[in-house]
């Protein structure tokens, strides 16, 4: 099970953040992750951020979508 | 004729390097049939939606496991949910996934048509918000899912307790993944050569939670992501382990999964829930595979509040969902499949849930 | 043949989804009692020969509009009801001429809102050249309707130079859409309660007669058109595959989908090809006409993002197929009914 999608944090108010999934906006709860800032990418499941992605994670994801990811090597 | 026009639209990337080539190479080197289980229902969906099976070498067989919460939820639970929805003092909130699942003689979709207050929500947060708005009703949330979903539900329960929001209740049937995978690995009924480990469960539990599969049972495991390409790479990594005669838990989905997982989410779960035995449709009762509310949260337990007992499951005659969930039977091998059982008239849970193995087979796999 | 049996003794929301459940309801409850050769094709509009007219053929359609909210980004129920009526006629190659307007008003609806809707109907109809020539007004008690429901019927005169319809398509034909998929459905979904997400998406709600008229005059060898509403592209492909007996194969990587539609679909577990549109048409034309059709569509404001998405094939008779981004192939199925957000 478990659909989860990466989303970019647009704004933060307390424990709640507005995130954008390629332009679709949704409020998510940040109570399960630390140190999230505006501009970060988080993995969202059922309204909760489950993980904060590093810039490298985001680059890899973008490369997958662009079809330029070489795969996991060593 | 090939027409080419510029397009700035969103697509889903295809494989760039030759991931399929890697798979073919290892599959050929192995030279024997290999059975890999994708445990997670979302993996099942991605595999079918992307037509992945049509690309795999003949000797690489992908079988679907018990990681679809709708499929493994006993129908006794649904009967209780239906009973709750009939109470005039209750607004029932649920993930959309459960709406169409038949219990013994009704479904939430049908109860809503008869006038029951059943509301589909995207998040438990939406259910709590409704409870704040509607203090005149008991807002019951159907808590189903695995470790991915449980921390968020734990968090809203804690919030409800802090706010003394006594009209927010859950009917709890949360489950955890490692125990049924142990049952599958030790059952010996079906030989599994490798596991594609659920990626989003592992975000919370950490990959280490599945180490026992490699260490105790010698089964290669790869924690895999959810883009079609992730699945190709994950399968390639499993085949490589098999070729090299190794068994380890490797992470393909490194952009989300660590060995330790999300500590805060684990802490939140432990604060609100405790391990319990749970009934899995098709797998029976598995000790320690469920999450029950701790005593300090009894006030928010719908079963306790209304004195309900979730009845044991009653399977439909002839339905082989249990065998399908254990990977013993492929959906088309079930005597009901496509004859009396189809998404328009599902007999068992694997056909009801869109991520169920039977529904996925029926939708995307009938050709060829 | 055994008659299909309904699995419920009550109407479900999904029966209005334009997918499998809708089809079942029609086949089990409605068609058996009313079937006749003119109804039988169950197409966007019925084609009615006018006796003694020397070959004049009329297209006749009806539709009901129950959208909530009444005013949504990119349109409103008034514009929607004209666009829907016009497009059902247009895809049968008929110039829209006359329409009826049946209003079911809920007690308490603000007159100002009704006036806004009526103005929108007038403006949209005038721009297309269709006239509202008859109508009806009913009021139901407060709480018995979402403010306003509209039913329309439309009549048009067939002007297409050749017959159109799924029966006219053949292997090799190209499948083309005039723009991005799923905009209307996701724009509306964003306004629904309980599924709080938001976008800057606008509904694509628009009457497309002028676009179709350009195509009909262009010399394109057109074989069929379908208005892509409920059930989206998926329902249209399944319908065409079933009624033509050929396979329809589309390529995932060529489907025009806005990023925010894909994002919202990913979030909620939907597929863009099963989401509703209100200003999109699927065209099926002869292979050698595809270039001309694309050029014609792209010259129109509502066709700027047109795309060739696939072709008709003699393989896989009766099936709609998707070639996926990783090069796999799978069946496109008729969407079941109500689209529910999932977490799995």
Our count of domains for chain B comes to 2
pLDDT, one tens digit per residue, over B174-189 is 999 999 999 889 877 7
Angle, in degrees to the nearest 10, between helices B263-272 and B150-162: 60
- Asked if the C-beta of B95 comes within 8 angstroms of chain A's C-beta atoms, the answer is yes
Structure tokens at C45: 């509009």
Please report the pLDDT score of residue B7 as a whole number: 38
CATH of domain C46-158: 3.30.1330.10
Our CA-based measurement puts residue A12 at a distance from the nearest CA of chain B, in whole angstroms, of 17
Are residues B252 and B329 both part of a single domain?
no
CA–CA separation, C318 vs B188, rounded Å? 42
Please report the pLDDT score of residue C80 as a whole number: 97
Task: Please name the residues in contact with B81: beta carbons below 8 A apart, sequence gap of 6 or more.
Answer: B92, B94, B98, B103, B108, B142, B171
Are residues B233 and B144 both part of a single domain?
yes
- Asked if the C-beta of C256 comes within 8 angstroms of chain B's C-beta atoms, the answer is yes
Are residues B152 and B284 both part of a single domain?
yes
Structure tokens at B69: 């919460």
Are residues B205 and B221 both part of a single domain?
yes
pLDDT, one tens digit per residue, over C189-242 is 888 756 668 888 899 999 999 999 999 999 999 999 999 999 999 999 999 999
Please report the pLDDT score of residue C149 as a whole number: 96
Structure tokens at A41: 């990418």
The pTM of this model reads: 0.88
Our CA-based measurement puts residue B13 at a distance from the nearest CA of chain A, in whole angstroms, of 4
Please report the pLDDT score of residue C254 as a whole number: 96
Distance (Å) of CA C245 to CA C40, C281, C294: 17, 21, 26
Provide, as residue numbers in chain A, all residues whose Cβ is less than 8 Å from the Cβ of C190: 24
Are residues B147 and B80 both part of a single domain?
yes
pLDDT, one tens digit per residue, over B77-122 is 999 999 999 999 999 999 988 888 878 888 899 999 999 999 999 8
More confident site: B257 or C333: B257
Of B14, B54, B362, the CB nearest to C253: B14
Q: What average pLDDT does range B260-270 have in this prediction?
A: 97
Please report the pLDDT score of residue C116 as a whole number: 97
pLDDT, one tens digit per residue, over C23-60 is 889 999 999 999 999 998 888 899 999 999 888 999 99
Please report the pLDDT score of residue C223 as a whole number: 98
List chains adjacent to chain C, taking adjacency as at least 3 C-beta pairs closer than 8 Å. A, B
Q: Cβ–Cβ of B200/A70 closer than 8 Å?
A: no
- Cβ distance B126 to B115 under 8 Å? no
CA–CA separation, B147 vs C98, rounded Å? 58
> Could you tell me which of B172, B173, B234 has the C-alpha nearest to residue B39?
B234
Our CA-based measurement puts residue A54 at a distance from the nearest CA of chain B, in whole angstroms, of 8
More confident site: B323 or B286: B286
Please report the pLDDT score of residue B277 as a whole number: 94
Q: Cβ–Cβ of C342/A3 closer than 8 Å?
A: yes
Q: Which domain holds residue B147?
A: 73-314
The top-scoring range by mean pLDDT among B278-287, C94-103, C319-328 is: C94-103
CA–CA separation, C170 vs C175, rounded Å? 11
Are residues B226 and B327 both part of a single domain?
no
* β pairing state of C57-65 and C148-158: antiparallel
pLDDT at C338 over 50: yes
Task: Please name the residues in contact with C7: beta carbons below 8 A apart, sequence gap of 6 or more.
Answer: B344, B345
Are residues B228 and B212 both part of a single domain?
yes
Please report the pLDDT score of residue B15 as a whole number: 59
Provide, as residue numbers in chain B, all residues whose Cβ is less than 8 Å from the Cβ of A55: none
Q: Cβ–Cβ of A69/B69 closer than 8 Å?
A: no
pLDDT at B141 over 70: yes
CATH number at residue B196: 3.40.50.11740
Q: Cβ–Cβ of C324/B365 closer than 8 Å?
A: no
Provide, as residue numbers in chain A, all residues whose Cβ is less than 8 Å from the Cβ of C198: 24-26
Please report the pLDDT score of residue C8 as a whole number: 79
Are residues B244 and B130 both part of a single domain?
yes
All domains in chain A, ordered by first residue: 5-66 (2.30.30.140)
Report domain extents, chain C: 46-158, 166-332
Please report the pLDDT score of residue A1 as a whole number: 46
The matching CATH number, chosen from 3.90.650.10, 3.30.390.50, 3.40.50.300, 3.30.70.20, for C166-332 is 3.90.650.10
Are residues B103 and B248 both part of a single domain?
yes
Of B69, B232, B363, the CB nearest to C331: B363
- Asked if the C-beta of A61 comes within 8 angstroms of chain B's C-beta atoms, the answer is yes
Of C268, C291, C324, the CB nearest to B228: C324
Least confident interval from A20-29, B163-172, B359-368, C230-239: B359-368
């Amino acid at each position: 099970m478990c659909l989860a999608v990466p989303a970019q944090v647009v704004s933060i108010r307390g424990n709640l953040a507005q995130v954008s999934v390629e332009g679709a906006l949704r409020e998510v709860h940040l109570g399960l992750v630390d140190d999230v800032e505006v501009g970060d990418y988080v993995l969202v499941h059922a309204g909760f951020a489950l993980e904060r992605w590093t810039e490298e994670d985001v680059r890899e994801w973008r490369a997958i979508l662009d079809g330029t990811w070489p795969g996991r090597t060593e | 004729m090939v027409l080419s026009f510029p397009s700035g639209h969103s697509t889903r990337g295809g494989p760039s390097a030759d991931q399929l080539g890697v798979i073919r190479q290892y599959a050929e080197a192995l030279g024997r049939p290999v059975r890999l289980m994708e445990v997670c229902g979302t993996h099942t969906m991605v595999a079918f939606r992307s037509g992945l099976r049509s690309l795999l070498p003949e000797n690489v067989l992908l079988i679907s496991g018990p990681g679809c919460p709708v499929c493994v939820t006993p129908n006794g639970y649904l009967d209780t949910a239906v009973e709750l929805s009939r109470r005039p003092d209750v607004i029932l909130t649920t993930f959309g996934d459960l709406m169409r699942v038949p219990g013994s003689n009704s479904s939430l979709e049908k109860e809503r048509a008869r006038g029951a207050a059943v509301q589909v929500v995207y998040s438990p947060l939406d259910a709590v918000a409704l409870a704040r708005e509607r203090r005149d009703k008991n807002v019951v949330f159907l808590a189903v899912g695995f470790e991915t979903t449980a921390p968020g539900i734990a968090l809203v329960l804690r919030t409800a307790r802090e706010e003394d929001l006594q009209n927010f209740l859950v009917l709890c049937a949360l489950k955890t993944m490692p125990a049924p995978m142990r049952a599958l690995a030790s059952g010996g009924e079906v030989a599994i050569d490798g596991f594609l480990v659920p990626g989003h469960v592992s975000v919370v539990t950490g990959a280490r939670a599945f180490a026992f599969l490699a260490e105790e049972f010698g089964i290669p495991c790869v924690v895999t992501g959810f883009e079609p390409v992730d699945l190709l790479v994950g399968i390639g990594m499993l085949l490589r382990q098999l070729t090299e005669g190794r068994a380890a838990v490797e992470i393909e989905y490194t952009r989300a999964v660590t060995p330790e997982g999300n500590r805060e989410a684990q802490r939140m779960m432990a604060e609100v829930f405790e391990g319990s035995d749970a009934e899995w449709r098709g797998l029976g009762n598995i000790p320690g595979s469920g999450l029950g509310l701790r005593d300090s949260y009894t006030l928010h337990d719908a079963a306790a509040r209304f004195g309900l007992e979730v009845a044991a499951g009653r399977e439909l005659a002839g339905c082989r969902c249990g065998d399908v969930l254990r990977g013993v039977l492929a959906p088309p091998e079930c005597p009901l499949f496509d004859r009396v059982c189809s998404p328009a008239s599902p007999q068992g849970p694997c056909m009801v849930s869109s991520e169920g193995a039977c529904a996925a087979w029926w939708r995307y796999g009938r050709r060829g | 043949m055994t008659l299909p049996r309904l699995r419920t003794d009550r109407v479900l929301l999904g029966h209005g989804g334009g997918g499998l459940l809708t089809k079942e309801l029609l086949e089990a409850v409605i068609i058996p009692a009313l079937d006749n050769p003119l109804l039988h094709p169950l197409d966007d509009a019925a084609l009615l020969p006018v006796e003694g007219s020397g070959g004049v053929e009329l297209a006749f359609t009806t539709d009901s509009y129950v959208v909530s909210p009444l005013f949504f980004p990119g349109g409103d129920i008034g514009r929607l009801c004209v666009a829907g009526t016009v497009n059902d006629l247009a895809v049968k190659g008929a110039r829209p001429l006359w329409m009826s307007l049946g209003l079911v008003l809920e007690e308490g609806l603000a007159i100002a809102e009704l006036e806004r809707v009526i103005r929108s109907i007038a403006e949209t109809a005038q721009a297309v050249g269709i006239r509202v020539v008859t109508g009806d007004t009913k009021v139901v008690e407060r709480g018995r309707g979402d403010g306003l429901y509209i039913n329309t019927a439309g009549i048009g005169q067939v002007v297409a130079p050749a017959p159109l319809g799924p029966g006219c398509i053949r292997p090799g034909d190209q499948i083309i859409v005039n723009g991005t998929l799923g905009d209307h459905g996701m724009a509306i979904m964003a306004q629904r309660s309980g599924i709080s997400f938001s976008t800057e998406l606008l509904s694509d709600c628009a009457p497309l007669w002028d676009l179709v008229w350009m195509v009909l005059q262009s010399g394109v060898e057109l074989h069929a058109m379908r208005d892509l509403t409920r059930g989206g592209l998926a329902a249209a492909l399944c319908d065409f595959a079933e009624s033509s007996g050929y396979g329809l194969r589309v390529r995932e990587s060529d489907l025009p989908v806005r990023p925010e539609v894909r994002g919202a679909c990913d979030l909620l577990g939907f597929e863009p090809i099963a989401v509703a549109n209100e200003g999109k048409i699927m065209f099926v034309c002869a292979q050698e006409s595809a270039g001309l059709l694309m050029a014609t569509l792209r010259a129109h404001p509502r066709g700027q993002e047109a795309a060739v998405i696939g072709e008709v094939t003699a393989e896989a008779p009766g099936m709609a197929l998707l070639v996926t981004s990783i090069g796999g192939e799978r069946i496109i199925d008729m969407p079941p009914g109500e689209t529910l957000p999932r977490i799995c």
